[in-house]
Amino acid sequence: MYFDQSGFDVRCEWGKQGVLQLAKTSDLYILVDVLSFSTCVEIATNRGATVFPYQWRDETVRDFAQAMNAELAEKRGVGRYSLSPASLLKISCGTRLVLPSPNGATLSLATGNVPTLAECLRNCRAVALAAMRYSHSITVVPAGERWMDGSLRPAFEDLIGAGAIIAHLQGQLSPEAQAAVAIYQSVQSNVSDLIRNCSSGRELIEKGFDRDVELATEINISNCVPKLLNNAYIRESG
């Protein structure tokens, strides 16, 4: 197939279609949703919580949370826990949390039986080291955002997150993966300011979520590797 980037050890493709199109050539997925889902998962699992991704916040999500004996994360800025990284800084060890997300969670639920890790800027080096213990056939998937019509909006922050981890991976990179690295390296010295001023960063800051952007733009401060196991993210041991 033209679009599966076969023949390369490390590939990069956007969104759910990227997950589906590259499934046959992938031994490992690394999912990147920097300003929300992946950073939330890193912070929560680093503190010993278990995170259940859920695609939509609809009428079924509360029943799912009850079935999982889990607490439901609310919309950003609402409730004790939400799709706000700052809300999870004090989450208790052992907490079971359902985290709805139209982007990162949707990708998580599309990877099937392929081993899956969640990466953000905070843990990019740690996730890369863990990934290379699994395989040298790795697909990095930046989640992106959604336009009002539901179509994919490639997001600057997720492209930067993808480049940040690919820069730590070994093996032959596809052209798409090389491009992500090149862009990351070209802005590496100014990543925080650029993400604060990109479309997604400005949206969060203008809504009062400056702390979320600050947390999401910290680079390589965490050794936590969130692994999807039985449809839930836990911190990988060892």
Instruction: Report the run of H or E that residue 228 belongs to, with start and end.
Output: strand 226-229
Residue 57 has pLDDT above 80, yes or no: no
Contact (CB, 8 A) for 125 and 224: no
Residue 112 has pLDDT above 60, yes or no: yes
Let me know if 137 is exposed, middle or buried by CB neighbors in 10 A (0-12, 13-18, 19+).
middle
Residue 206 lies in a domain: yes
Q: What is the pLDDT of residue 75?
A: 85
Q: What is the pLDDT of residue 129?
A: 96
Residue 24 lies in a domain: yes
Residue 1 lies in a domain: no
Measure the CA–CA gap between 155 and 212, rounded to whole angstroms: 16
Q: How confident is the model at residue 56 (pLDDT cuts 50, 70, 90)?
A: confident
Which CATH number goes with the domain that contains 229?
3.90.1560.10
Q: How confident is the model at residue 206 (pLDDT cuts 50, 70, 90)?
A: very high
Q: What is the number of domains present in the chain?
A: 1
Q: Which are the contacts of 19, defined by CB distance < 8 A and separation ≥ 6?
A: 13, 29, 107, 110, 111, 139, 141
Sign, Cα dihedral of 59, 64, 65, 66: positive
| pLDDT tens-digit series, residues 155-199 | 999 999 999 999 999 999 999 999 999 999 999 999 999 999 999
Q: Which are the contacts of 223, defined by CB distance < 8 A and separation ≥ 6?
A: 123, 126
Mean of the per-residue pLDDT values of the chain: 94
**57 or 133, which is more confident?**
133
Residue 63 lies in a domain: yes
Residue 5 lies in a domain: no
Residue 172, token pair as written in the block? 């032959």
Q: What does the longest C-alpha to C-alpha distance in the chain come to?
A: 47
Residue 1 has pLDDT above 90, yes or no: no
**35 or 56, which is more confident?**
35
Residue 221 lies in a domain: yes
Residue 74 lies in a domain: yes
Domain encompassing residue 227 = 10-235
| pLDDT tens-digit series, residues 72-87 | 998 888 889 999 999 9
Q: What is the pLDDT of residue 4?
A: 83
Residue 23 lies in a domain: yes
| pLDDT tens-digit series, residues 139-155 | 999 999 989 898 999 99
Percent of the chain with pLDDT over 90: 86
Q: What is the pLDDT of residue 136?
A: 76
Q: What is the pLDDT of residue 238?
A: 55
Percent of the chain with pLDDT over 70: 99
| pLDDT tens-digit series, residues 8-23 | 999 999 999 999 998 8
Q: What is the pLDDT of residue 192?
A: 96
